[in-house]
Amino acid sequence: MSDFLMPTYARQPIAFIKGEGPWLIDEAGKRYLDAISGIAVCGLGHAHTAISKAVCEQADTLIHTSNLYRVEIQEKLARRLCQLAGMDAAFFANSGAEANETAIKLARLYGHKRGVAEPEILVMEHSFHGRTLATLSATGNRKVQAGFEPLVRGFVRAPFGDLEAARRIASERPNMVAILVEPIQGEGGVKTPPSGYLAGLRSLCDELGWLLMVDEVQTGMGRAGRWFAHQLEGIRPDVMTLAKALGNGVPIGACLARGPAAGVFSPGNHGSTFGGNPLACRAALAVIETIEANGLVERAAALGQHMLEEFTHLLSDLPGVIDVRGTGLLLGIELDRPCGPLVDRAREQGLLINVTAQNVVRLLPPLILDDSQAHFLVEMVSELIKDFLQDNQES
């Protein structure tokens, strides 16, 4: 471990020197099937030629000019994203937390413009929105917040998936102006709300004039088998945030807005030096083109469904397995006990997986996975879980 890095991460003792599609290769030349995709970032896998070509070309032409000037490629990306999402305007940032900061600032300004001096935002238990002060305050996980008090005020929490609770809180909070919610909670344990939940929140926001803001940082860009996971519910939010897979590894975040929300900011209200620079926008445009040209949104839906069926068949009757769930290529297997050590066991066998919320195996494979790689992944993960449950019998 490096003496010169702040110890903010509990890193696994391995480094990769090269990537190839869904594979990562370590210093010894050993290959690993990557079922995390850099935490839902490399949806097109590693070293995708369309992306590397676009990034190289752009680096050779123009990397950065700042937002003091028009950036044509940023305008182009904004138009493409708005078309895909049915939104009206975009702001570009460099990460998910920054995209959510933008949404939070937008909601507060929206509130102030409506005469609410201390606007509040409804957020959910077990949510994850980032590590900046405002986004960790919005996050529903004490571990993320502990030690960083005083938290940013103005967030009110409700249980995720509970529409009645949201309605009850709504009736008690006259200063509420917006809801910030993940369509599917990723870090929180791959949790899908009951069907009708987002549509119910949409109605609530319509009734009260609140903004419905969806955090699609993890679920967006095809991962959930739609361009954006909220589209599964047939609704449109007022604000949507994106990051992770948007640049396939080139840092870029976005906050999109529609209707009145799209006109809240004026010059001087918000900004970012790097946000939406030509390099990042070129990468994101190449990502969108590649997803489209290869039908990868539909592919994620079909392959995810198939893998979910295979996992259900292999695991759901096993004692110790509580639930097998997922949407598109965001898959979770919940066990009845903490299963962190599975990550090391899998890696030793050449497979990269993740465990979140302590007892949920989370899989975020790239959208370019082929059938045999998917099958191999399901078989390996299932065997690992079976062995792990055998070796770790509950006493």
Which parts of 311-340 interact with ligand PLP (CB under 6 A)? Answer: none
Token code pair at residue 118:
């201390």
Sign of the four-CA dihedral 287, 289, 294, 300? positive
| Contact between residue 155 and residue 179 where contact means Cβ atoms under 8 Å apart | no
Binding mask 160-199 for ligand PLP (x = CB under 6 A): ----------------------x---xx------------
| Residue 46, strand partner residues | 21
Q: Report the interhelical angle of 197-208 vs 163-172 (nearest 10°).
A: 20
Choose between 244 and 282: whose C-beta lies nearer to ligand PLP.
244
Token code pair at residue 184:
């599917």
Q: Degrees (nearest 5) of the Cα angle 340, 301, 332?
A: 15
Choose between 134 and 314: whose C-beta lies nearer to ligand PLP.
134
Shortest distance, CB of residue 41 to ligand PLP, whole angstroms?
Answer: 9
Position of minimal CB gap to ligand PLP? 96
Shortest distance, CB of residue 118 to ligand PLP, whole angstroms?
Answer: 25
Give catalytic status of residue 215 as yes or no. Answer: yes
Q: Degrees (nearest 5) of the Cα angle 211, 215, 218?
A: 165
Give catalytic status of residue 244 as yes or no. Answer: yes
Alpha helix positions (H), the chain: 37-40, 49-61, 72-85, 96-113, 133-138, 142-145, 163-172, 197-208, 278-293, 296-315, 342-348, 371-391
Give catalytic status of residue 60 as yes or no. Answer: no
Choose between 283 and 321: whose C-beta lies nearer to ligand PLP.
283
Q: Are strands 120-124 and 211-215 parallel, antiparallel or unpaired?
A: unpaired
Which member of 129, 202, 226, 258 binds ligand PLP (CB under 6 A)? 129
Which member of 37, 218, 327, 356 binds ligand PLP (CB under 6 A)? 218
Shortest distance, CB of residue 357 to ligand PLP, whole angstroms?
Answer: 13
CA–CA separation, 238 vs 296, rounded Å? 26
Binding mask 236-265 for ligand PLP (x = CB under 6 A): -------xx---------------------
Which parts of 62-121 interact with ligand PLP (CB under 6 A)? Answer: 95-97, 100
| Contact between residue 13 and residue 6 where contact means Cβ atoms under 8 Å apart | no
Among residues 91, 155, 191, 215, which one is catalytic? 215
Among residues 91, 128, 160, 228, which one is catalytic? 128
Catalytic residues: 128, 215, 244
The binding site for ligand PLP (CB under 6 A) comprises: 95-97, 100, 128-130, 182, 186-187, 215, 217-218, 243-244
